[in-house]
Amino acid sequence: MLTARRSRNILFTATVGTLLVCSPVGSNGTGLAQQSAEEDTYRYDPSGKRDPFFSPLYRVTEQAPMTEGARTPLQRLDLGQFKVVGILLETGEPKALIEDNSGLGYIVTSGTLIGSKGGVIKSIESDRILVEEYETDFYGKRQTLERELSLTVVDSPAESQTTKAK
Tens of pLDDT, residue by residue over 77-106, are 888 899 999 999 887 899 999 999 888 999
85 with 25, same domain?
Answer: no
Q: Is residue 141 part of a domain?
A: yes
Q: Is residue 163 part of a domain?
A: no
89 with 144, same domain?
Answer: yes
Q: What is the CATH number of the domain that holds 144?
A: 2.30.30.830
12 with 73, same domain?
Answer: no
- What is the C-alpha to C-alpha distance for residues 70 and 77, in angstroms, rounded to an integer? 14
Enter the pTM of the model: 0.51
Q: Is residue 51 part of a domain?
A: no
**C-alpha distances in Å from residue 50, one per residue of 37, 138, 139, 143:** 29, 12, 8, 16
Tens of pLDDT, residue by residue over 32-41, are 555 555 667 7
Residues in the chain predicted with pLDDT less than 70, given as ranges, are 1-39, 56-70, 155-166
Counted domains in the chain: 2
Residue 20 belongs to domain spanning: 2-35
15 with 62, same domain?
Answer: no
| Secondary structure, 3-state, 34-54 | HHHHHHCCCCCCCCCCCCCCC
